[in-house]
Amino acid sequence: MKLYLTARGPVLQANGGYHPLVDPWDALVNRVELADYLRAVAAASPGEPRLDEPLLAPIGAQEVWAAGVAYLRSRAARMAESQHAGGGDFYDRVYGAARPELFFKAAGWRVRGHGEPVQIRDDANWSVPEPELALYVNARGEIVGYTIGNDMSARDLEGENPLNLPQAKIYDGSCALGPAVLVRDTPLPPDTSIELTVIRSGEVVCAGSTNLSQMHRSPAELVDWLYRATSFPQGCVLLTGTGIVPPDDFTLRSGDEVRIAIQPVGTLVNPVQ
Ligand code: DO4
Ligand code: MG
């Protein structure tokens, strides 16, 4: 079952049909027994055969948070980029610590949806997409669904000084989510793959893949840490870190197209502005 958000509200895709829902998004994602409720909605009518409307980012008042250095590949890349700033072993310590790195990424209103442009900072020279599994977590700390996230990052800023992290990570167009939220009451299997492709002038200029078995910590562990001392009355979205890092000589350019696929969620496509 997948949830889409459109201008007329949430739409459920289930049992081969699209079911417009009356619930406002924020109330919907926080419903007790969400999956059971959606199954009942889908069983009650055949739904519409198509969804032709443009999709909005599947988010309302939820904050977006992100985990960092959650894959070995990310640890290696951060250690290399920050070695001249004295950060050579800094990220190794982050990776090995009991406490995960968790940072604020975006307010819901700043998130871009499927098809909307993501941005690179004018004052950065090394910008990359970070394709990440995004957890949809309700107000009670339960993982109710999964979507695809792009944690756009300015690697030169973050490599210059780890305290630049908020500027490297939080700016207009730095976070994309979508196209849908896959609602399920069981975790995704470890062999679920995450695939990145960047297209420039019709050519693939960057590609990579990983899978969830490469994650250093489980989704449930990350959520447990995030909710320890912080409440989320509307729920939140938690990006789970990147396991795909483009080669060091790659930087995004305006006009590129970023495609991130996590089957069975779908493919998130965003042009770079
Ligand atoms: O510590 C810097 C950010 C790490 C990150 O965003 C990632 O590993 O995905
Ligand atoms: Mg990231």
With 0-12 / 13-18 / 19 or more C-beta atoms within 10 angstroms meaning exposed / middle / buried, residue 72 is: middle
pLDDT of residue 26: 98
pLDDT on residue 147: 98
Backbone dihedral region for residue 141 (phi beyond 0: left; psi -120 to 50: alpha; all else: beta): left
Residue 19 and residue 154 in one domain: no
Ligand 1 atom nearest residue 165's Cα = 2
Could you tell me if residue 55 is inside a domain?
A: no
Residue 262 and residue 137 share a domain: yes
State which of 82, 153, 245 you would mutate to test the pocket of ligand 1, scoring each by most atoms of that ligand within 8 A of its C-beta: 153
Question: Do 34 and 159 belong together in one domain?
Answer: no
* Residue 108 sits in the same domain as residue 37: no
Q: Whose CA is nearest to atom 6 of ligand 1?
A: 68
> What is the pLDDT, as a whole number, of residue 74?
87
Nearest Cα neighbor of 179 from 261, 66, 106 is 261
Q: Measure 61 CA to ligand 1 centroid, in angstroms.
A: 24
Low-confidence ranges of the chain (pLDDT < 70): 87
Count of CA atoms in the C-beta half-sphere (13 A) of 145 = 33
- For residues 72 and 152, state if they share a domain: yes
pTM equals: 0.97
Pair (114, 233) in one structural domain: yes
* Residue 212 belongs to a domain: yes
**Quick check: is 130 in a domain?**
yes
**Domain assignment present for 29:** yes
Please report the pLDDT score of residue 52 as a whole number: 94
pLDDT of residue 83: 83
Q: Is 54 inside a domain boundary?
A: no
Do residue 110 and residue 10 come from a single domain? no
Instruction: Show the domain range for 216.
Output: 63-271
Report which protein residue has its CA nearest ligand 1's atom 2. Answer: 68
Question: How far does residue 169's CA lie from ligand 1's centre (Å)?
Answer: 9
Residue 51 lies in a domain: no
- Do 79 and 212 reside in the same domain of the chain? yes
Q: Which ligand is nearest to the Cα of residue 151, counting in written order?
A: 2
Is 52 domain-assigned? no
User: What values do phi and psi take at 8, rounded to 5?
Assistant: -90, 5
What distance in angstroms lies between residue 24's CA and the mean position of ligand 1's atoms?
32
Nearest atom, ligand 1, residue 151 CA = 6
- The answer to whether residues 26 and 81 belong to one domain is no
| 50 domain-assigned | no
Within the chain, strands assigned E span 2-6, 9-14, 17-20, 63-68, 101-106, 127-128, 131-137, 143-151, 153-154, 175-183, 193-200, 203-211, 236-239, 257-262, 266-271
Same domain, 226 and 192: yes
d(CA 176, CA 269): 9
Q: How far apart are CA 210 and CA 262, in angstroms?
A: 10
Cα 177 to ligand 2 centroid, rounded to whole Å = 13
pLDDT for res 112: 98
Segment 1-49, tens digit of pLDDT? 999 999 999 999 999 999 999 999 999 999 999 999 999 999 999 999 9
Q: What is the model's pLDDT at position 33?
A: 97
Indicate which residue's Cα is closest to atom 3 of ligand 1: 68
Distance 61 CA to ligand 2 centre (A): 21
Residue in 81, 82, 130 to alter for ligand 1 test, most ligand atoms within 8 A of Cβ: 130
Measured from the Cα of 91, ligand 1's closest atom is 1
Do residues 215 and 113 both lie within one domain? yes
How far apart CA 231 and CA 227 sit, in angstroms, is: 6
The ligand 1 site (C-beta within 6 Å) comprises 66, 68-70, 74, 78, 101, 130, 151, 158, 165, 241-242
Q: Which one-letter amino acid corresponds to residue 107?
A: A
Kindly state whether residues 22 and 139 are assigned to the same domain. no
In the three-class reduction of DSSP (H, G, I as helix; E, B as strand; rest coil), residue 233 is classed as: coil
Number of domains in the chain: 2
- Whole-number Å distance, alpha carbon 169 to ligand 2 midpoint, is 8
What's the pLDDT score for residue 258?
Answer: 99
CATH of the domain at 227: 3.90.850.10
